[in-house]
């Protein structure tokens, strides 16, 4: 392997250490403990793991976590009522409703019901709009993790061509919006590719920084990567051979200058940025 590993797991530990110091100082000065409420509907194994990891991360940095686990038969009205209660609860500063939700529940209705000041996932239309305008209340967790991974490894984005493969509301679109803003970790020229992109490989080969976020195992192959490019793999796929990303890691690592592993790349930073948003939410609510 010639590419340098971008170690998200190690970086997450470093940033969580920084957050823990900030949390301790905030509690000392305000006698308020930042609190994240998580909501899990049903028993999806992957979602259960994600929520458990988030709760454990809260404990590591000195935050409180409150977990609400609901049955798969929960109605939309019941979930909306829980969200309203959490919105009114002054002891809860951040709300995370774990996706996906059961088919009887409309995700957008639930996400829109979360108080924007407690929307630490940055899914509410108000927060998305603020992000697009370049004055965010919160930064979406996975895109912010990608940005921090680049910044803290000394990878300059200014003037670089970043190609994002995937146009999801969770990663692709918000990441593109962040990278085109002015400032550190941004000022990039961004191309967003998707299922209708013609000659995808020709586009990805023009990237200085290539981000894969489509949820297709080992989709990005070595011939799709310009030699010396930075490759960030946001995907996490469960296959018969175990976990893998959207990038054919072994082959692409021989071409790229830097590459993220899966697991241990972007994933740990997603949870870390969630903690950062929860602390930000608590600080803002303390002043209002």
E-strand stretches of the chain? 4-5, 35-41, 64-70, 94-97, 161-165, 189-193, 209-212, 230-233, 237-239, 242-244, 258-259
- Active-site residue, selected from the candidate residues 16, 98, 147, 148: 98
Domain ranges of the chain: 31-116, 141-267
Is 121 catalytic? The answer is: yes
Q: Identify the active-site residue in 16, 118, 119, 121.
A: 121
Task: Profile the chain (288 residues) by mean pLDDT over runs of 10 residues.
Answer: 93 98 97 96 82 92 96 97 98 95 96 98 97 97 98 98 97 98 97 97 98 97 98 93 94 98 96 98 92
Q: CATH code for 141-267?
A: 3.40.50.720
Q: Are strands 258-259 and 4-5 parallel, antiparallel or unpaired?
A: parallel
What pLDDT does 43 receive? 80
In the residue annotation, 54 being an active-site residue is answered as yes
Query: Among 190, 150, 143, which Cα is nearest to 170's?
Result: 143
Q: Is 103 a catalytic residue?
A: no
pTM exceeds 0.75, yes or no: yes
pLDDT at 121: 96
Q: Which of these CATH numbers, 3.30.465.10, 3.40.50.10860, 3.20.20.140, 2.60.120.10, describes 31-116?
A: 3.40.50.10860
User: What confidence score (pLDDT) does residue 1 get?
Assistant: 65
Q: Which of 152, 141, 156, 83 has the alpha carbon at shortest distance from 269? A: 141
Q: Is-same-fold flag (31-116; 141-267)?
A: yes
pLDDT at 254: 97
Pick the catalytic residue: 54, 118, 160, 276? 54
């Amino acid at each position: 392997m010639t590419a340098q590993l971008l170690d998200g797991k190690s970086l997450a530990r470093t940033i969580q250490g920084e957050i823990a110091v900030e949390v301790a100082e905030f509690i000392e000065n305000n006698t308020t403990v930042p609190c994240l409420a998580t909501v899990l509907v049903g028993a999806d194994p992957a979602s259960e793991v994600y929520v458990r990891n988030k709760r454990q991360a809260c404990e590591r940095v000195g935050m409180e976590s409150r977990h609400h686990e609901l049955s798969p038969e929960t109605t939309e009205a019941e979930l909306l009522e829980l969200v309203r209660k959490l919105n009114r609860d002054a002891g809860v500063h951040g709300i995370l409703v774990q996706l996906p939700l059961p088919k009887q529940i409309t995700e957008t209705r639930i996400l829109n019901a979360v108080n924007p000041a407690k929307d630490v996932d940055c899914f509410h239309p108000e927060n998305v709009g603020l992000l697009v305008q370049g004055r965010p209340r919160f930064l979406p967790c996975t895109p912010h993790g990608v940005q921090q991974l680049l910044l803290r490894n000394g990878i300059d984005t200014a003037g670089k061509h970043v190609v994002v493969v995937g146009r999801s509301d969770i990663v692709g679109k918000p990441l593109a919006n962040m990278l085109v803003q002015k400032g550190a970790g941004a000022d990039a020229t961004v191309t967003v590719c998707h299922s209708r992109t013609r000659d995808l490989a020709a586009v990805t080969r023009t990237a200085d920084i290539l981000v894969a976020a489509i949820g297709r195992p080992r989709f990005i192959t070595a011939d799709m990567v310009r030699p010396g490019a930075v490759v960030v793999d946001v995907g996490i796929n469960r296959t018969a051979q175990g976990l893998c990303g959207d990038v054919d890691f072994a082959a692409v690592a021989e071409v790229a200058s830097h590459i993220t592993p899966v697991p241990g790349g972007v994933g740990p930073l997603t949870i870390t940025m969630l903690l950062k948003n929860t602390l930000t939410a608590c600080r803002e609510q303390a002043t209002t």
